[in-house]
Structure 1
Amino acid sequence: MRKVYSWRWAFFLVGIIVLSLGISMVIKGAVGTSAWDVLHIALFENFGLTIGTWNIITGLLVITFTSIMAKSLPKMGTWINMVMCGVFIDFFYWLLPVAPSLIIQIIYFLLGILVLGFGCGMYIAPNLGAGPRDSLMMLIVEKFGGSIKVARMSIELAVALIGWILGGPLGVGTVIIAICSGYVVQFSLPYCRKMLLKAIGEVEEMKPFF
């Protein structure tokens, strides 16, 4: 049992770090941030604090909404995700160098989409609690049906519009992320689940801890 716990938490925590790295890479690319970061950057520019801090604040608001809709409190992993993601976004944003040319910006951006999408699938796979925004995505799929990619695309397009109204950096890259990131998660989530089940030696679907 200890082996199972260790692998599931390892996937979860590493997935959050990978996701945060991907988000920071996309922001550094300056081609167009993800929909949520259009909002976070707009809030940062208008009210101060940091991009990661606004990530935590909006995450708390989303958790409140999904808890009311689902009539249940989120798992402990959701709270951990909310805080860790905000902290690591600020860390990687500080750590990554500024792109010196447009080509490097595009590389940052494209790799960032792949990294954040894979990280998203990786931390959801252990079923310890999806992040606030991905919990909303999964709730929409559960309540209304459809695929993960459609739910994610719909949420991100709506959030991008709100962020743009507030003055956030909406760009062509925002649309690309909204369309493509869902496809990456659609692939990475079942792939990471298979990897995790293989690592812990289980063949059945994992049950949540919390």
Structure 2
Amino acid sequence: MRKILLWRWAFYFIGLLVVSLGISMTIKGQKLGIGPWDVLHVGLYQHFGLTIGTWGIITGFLIVIATAAVLKAWPKIGTWLNMLLLGIFIDLFNWLLPDFTSFGAQTVIFTLGVIVMGCGAGLYISPNIGAGPRDSLMLVLVEKTGASVKKVRTTLEVIVAIVGWLFGGPIGIGTVLIALFLGQMVHYTLPQSRKLLMKILGEEDEQFLH
């Protein structure tokens, strides 16, 4: 049991670290635009100060409280850690990564960032420790409205991106690409990550991932 928990948490933390790196890479290539939620966080940062990661934590906290009130239940600890660690790691990588001034360099770092985000998302979701605040909100809206996941997610991200743009966040073709293709990447990386985790744990432990 201890081995199972250690490996599940290892995948979770490494995944969050990798996702955060990918997000920061896309922010460094923001001439192309960035992900819808990051548009909001960058816009709030430009308008009110603090840091991009701090705004990620603040919005995540508000979402967690709202979804908990609707569901009348507190989320898993993984959701709280997702909210906190993503913000911390994003600020760390924003500080560590250099700025890229040319359009070519920003295109490269942005493209690599999207790939890194997709890999990280598959890793941190695979152990089923807890969905992130924004995914939890999406699932609540799906349950309450009866609409499809795709429709709810698209509508939510469009609204968030517009609000972020009004605050000065960068929207571009990259925003559309992330909205359209990141989910498709996770559709591939998630089963691959689960397969790797299962290989490490042993097939008999598969129930811990569901």
- Specify if TM > 0.5: yes
Q: Is the 8 A contact 2:126 2:209 kept in 1?
A: no
Q: Percent identity, please.
A: 53
Alpha-carbon contact 1:123-1:130 (below 8 Å) kept? no
- Conserved in 2, the CA contact under 8 Å of 1:33 and 1:174? yes
Q: Normalization by structure 1: what TM-score?
A: 0.90
Give structure 1 stretches of 5+ with no counterpart: none
Change (3 A) 1:198 1:141: farther
The aligned counterpart of 2:108 is 107
Query: Which of 180, 204, 207 is equivalent to 1:205?
Result: 207
Shift of 1:58: 0.3
Contact 2:28 2:99 in 1 (8 A): yes
- Give distance in 2, aligned partners of 1:117 and 1:69: 29
Tell me, yes or no, if the aligned pair for 1:150 and 1:182 is still in contact at 8 Å: no
Q: Is 132-141 or 48-57 further displaced after alignment?
A: 132-141
Give 1:163 shift: 0.9
Matched with 2:51 is 50
Once the 2 structures are TM-superposed, how far is the Cα of residue 14 of structure 1 from its aligned partner?
0.2
Deviations 1:55-106 (A, max 9, x none): 0000001111221233321111111111111011001011111124222111
Bigger proportion of residues as helix: 2
Q: 1:174 to 1:14 in 2, by over 3 A?
A: same
Displacement, 1:166?
A: 2.2
1:47 Cα deviation from its structure 2 partner:
0.9
Could you list the runs of 5+ residues in structure 2 that have no partner in the other structure? none
* Match status 1:60 vs 2:61: yes
CA-based RMSD of the aligned residues comes to 1.9
Q: Distance in 2 between matches of 1:19 and 1:164?
A: 23
What residue number does 1:86 align with? 87
Native 8 Å contact 1:153 1:182 kept in 2: no
Aligned to 2:23: 23
1:126 is displaced (CA, Å) by: 0.8
* Structure 1 position 191, deviation (Å): 2.0
Match of residue 36 from structure 1: 37
Which residue number in structure 1 is paired with residue 178 of structure 2? 177
Q: Tell me, in whole angstroms, the C-alpha distance in 1 between the residues paired with 2:197 and 2:142.
A: 23
Give the distance between the partners of 2:185 and 2:143, measured in 1 at CA. 20
The worse-fitting range, judged by mean Cα deviation, of 70-79 and 12-21 is 70-79
Letter in 2 for 1:7: W
- Residue 87 of structure 1 aligns with an amino acid whose one-letter code is I
Corresponding residue for 1:166?
A: 167
> Residue 11 of structure 2 aligns to which amino acid in structure 1?
F
Structure 1 pair 14–78 and aligned structure 2 pair: CA distance change class (3 A): same
* 1:196 match: 197
Residue 32 (structure 1) shift: 0.5
CA distance in 1 between counterparts of 2:89 and 2:184 reads 24
Aligned residue type for 1:188: T
Instruction: Count residues with an aligned counterpart.
Output: 207
Distance 1:153 1:96 in 2: 30
| Secondary structure, aligned partner of 1:74 | coil
Match of 1:131 in 2: 132
Query: 2:53 & 2:152 partners in 1: Cα distance?
Result: 24
Partner Cα separation in structure 2 for residue 198 and residue 83 of structure 1: 30
